[in-house]
Amino acid sequence: MRVLGIDPGLTRCGTGVVDGGLGRPLRLVDVGVIRTPSEWSVAERLVFIEKGIEARLDEHRPDAVAIERIFARSDVSTIMGTAQAAGIAMVCAARRGLPIALHTPSEVKAAVSGNGRADKAQVGAMVTRILRLDQAPKPADAADALALAITHIWRGGAQARIDAALAAAGTARKAAR
């Protein structure tokens, strides 16, 4: 399975592509950050982010896209920009019919480090170890995007099978009525 992880942000949108599966070593395919200047309008920044995500989708052809689920923070302007960038990522993936998974920051931290309250340095160190890299990806947005992809490979595949089984069971129950 190939997963594109996206750590959304209006100034820095981290992207990371990982190949692998349960019980198989994971492999880094690509990692980067889509950066937009703060002096650009929000609309210009979102168009640039869309183009960057589309380019990664074209180049790497992932099987799924994992995006960080937005949670409330104290700075509303940060939440809005992050949510807008996440929406752009969802639209890009949905346009191609790709499965989209939203993972919370604590879920991602727990998956890669075993601690849902791990700091950025711990997440970066674990991503480095899991993908057998020489050094942690920089900036943290890039490491976070890889952590999202890793989380989806480890947890998302299992969740997709559970969802499919529940859907099939529901369909079978309806047919039996």
State the average pLDDT over residues 38-55: 98
State the average pLDDT over residues 31-43: 97
Catalytic residue among 7, 30, 63, 107: 7
Catalytic residue among 59, 134, 141, 144: 141
Share of the chain above pLDDT 90, in %: 79
Q: How far is CA 33 from the centre of its chain?
A: 13
Taking 70 as the threshold, does the pLDDT of residue 171 lie above it?
A: no
Q: What is the pLDDT of residue 73?
A: 64
Taking 90 as the threshold, does the pLDDT of residue 8 lie above it?
A: yes
Share of the chain above pLDDT 70, in %: 89
Domain residue ranges in the chain: 2-176
- Per the annotation, the verdict on 50 as an active-site residue is no
Burial code (b: 16+ CB inside 10 Å, e: under 16) for 131-159 equals beeeebbeebbbbbbbbbbbbbbbbbbee
Q: Binding site residues for Mg(2+), as ranges? A: 7, 68, 141
- Per the annotation, the verdict on 141 as an active-site residue is yes
- Per the annotation, the verdict on 54 as an active-site residue is no
Q: What is the pLDDT of residues 110-165, one digit of tens each?
A: 999 999 999 999 999 999 999 999 999 999 999 999 999 999 999 976 666 666 66
Tokens for 21, please give them: 């599966």
The per-residue pLDDT of the chain, averaged, comes to 92
Catalytic residue among 30, 54, 63, 68: 68
Q: What is the pLDDT of residue 32?
A: 98
Hey, how many other C-beta atoms are within 10 angstroms of the C-beta on 176? 6
Q: Binding site residues, as ranges? A: 7, 68, 141
Q: Which CATH number fits domain 2-176: 3.40.50.720, 3.30.2090.10, 3.30.420.10, 3.40.50.2300?
A: 3.30.420.10
Q: What is the pLDDT of residues 12-25, one digit of tens each?
A: 999 999 999 988 99
